[in-house]
Amino acid sequence: MKKYYHRKITTDAIQEYVGVDVMETIIGANIGQDAIRFQFGHDHFHYDNNSFVAGDRYCDEQRSIIRSAIARSDAQTAREAFGRLSHTVQDLYAHSNYVALWREMFPAGNPEQVEPELRNILANGRLHSGKLYYPLEALSFIEKLQPTVLPLLPRDSHAWMNLDDPSKPDFNYAYSAAVKRTRTEYATLVSSLSQSDLKLFAGLEKG
Ligand SMILES: [Zn+2]
C-alpha cells in the first residue's frame, strides 16, 4: 500500500477507539515501515517475496512487544508496535493474491463483503505474494517508468501483483480487507486488556 492509504486504512479502522495523539503515533509507526531502508531485505514487513511464515512471525513479535510494553506501562512502545503490526497485516492484501482467491470463491462478492482471514485462502497452496525482481523492480517504483518496465517483469512480480493504489482493479477489495483486518487486530488486543491497561494504551476513557 502507498503511505496515503496506510494512513487512511488505519484511520478508518480504529480512529474512533483511540485518542488523536495515539492515532498519530500508530500511523507514524505504520508508515515508517515503508522507509527506503526497510524496502530492501525486509520482505516480512510487507509480506513480499512469499514471506508468509516470516511475516506471520513478525506480527507475533509485535503482539508480544505490545503485551510486555503494556505490562510495564510503556504505552508509547506498545502503540508503535501496534502501528508496525497494522502495516504488515494491511500489506498482506495489497501484495498477495488473497483478494484474487477470495473473488474466485465469491465471484459476485463486493468489496464490503470480503473476509480477511479465511482459512481456506490463508492455507491455500496457491496463495502467493509478489516477488521483487531487482534491479528492474526498483525502476517500477518511478511512476513515469512503469509503462516501460512493466512488460519486462514477470507476472508474479510485485510490480504486476500489487494492489497498492486505486489504479489497480481490485484495490477496493484489498482496502476493505485491510480495514477489517486492522479492526480485528485492535479488537483482539482490546479483549486481552484490563480497563486500566486499555485506557493507558488508547488514551481514552472508553475503548
Ligand atoms: Zn509495506
Q: How many domains does the chain have?
A: 1
Q: How far is the CA of 91 from the centre of ligand 1 (A)?
A: 6
Question: 68-93: per-residue pLDDT in tens?
Answer: 999 999 999 999 999 999 999 999 99
Q: Is residue 75 part of a domain?
A: yes
Q: Is residue 122 part of a domain?
A: yes
Q: Is residue 117 part of a domain?
A: yes
Q: How far is the CA of 205 from the centre of ligand 1 (A)?
A: 32
pLDDT of residue 205: 61
Q: How far is the CA of 194 from the centre of ligand 1 (A)?
A: 31
Percent of the chain exceeding pLDDT 70 equals 99
Q: Is residue 18 part of a domain?
A: yes
Q: How far is the CA of 45 from the centre of ligand 1 (A)?
A: 6
The answer to whether residues 106 and 113 touch, using CB atoms and an 8 Å cutoff, is yes
Higher pLDDT, 58 or 140: 58
Query: What is the domain extent for residue 18?
Result: 3-128+174-202
Question: 46-55: per-residue pLDDT in tens?
Answer: 999 999 999 9
Backbone angles phi, psi at 19, to 5 degrees: -70, 160
Checking if the pLDDT of 207 tops 50, the result is no
Q: Is residue 148 part of a domain?
A: no
Q: How far is the CA of 33 from the centre of ligand 1 (A)?
A: 6
Q: Is residue 29 part of a domain?
A: yes
Checking if the pLDDT of 111 tops 60, the result is yes
Q: Mean pLDDT over residues 36-49, rounded? A: 89
Cα(55)–Cα(136) distance, integer angstroms: 24
Q: How far is the CA of 43 from the centre of ligand 1 (A)?
A: 9
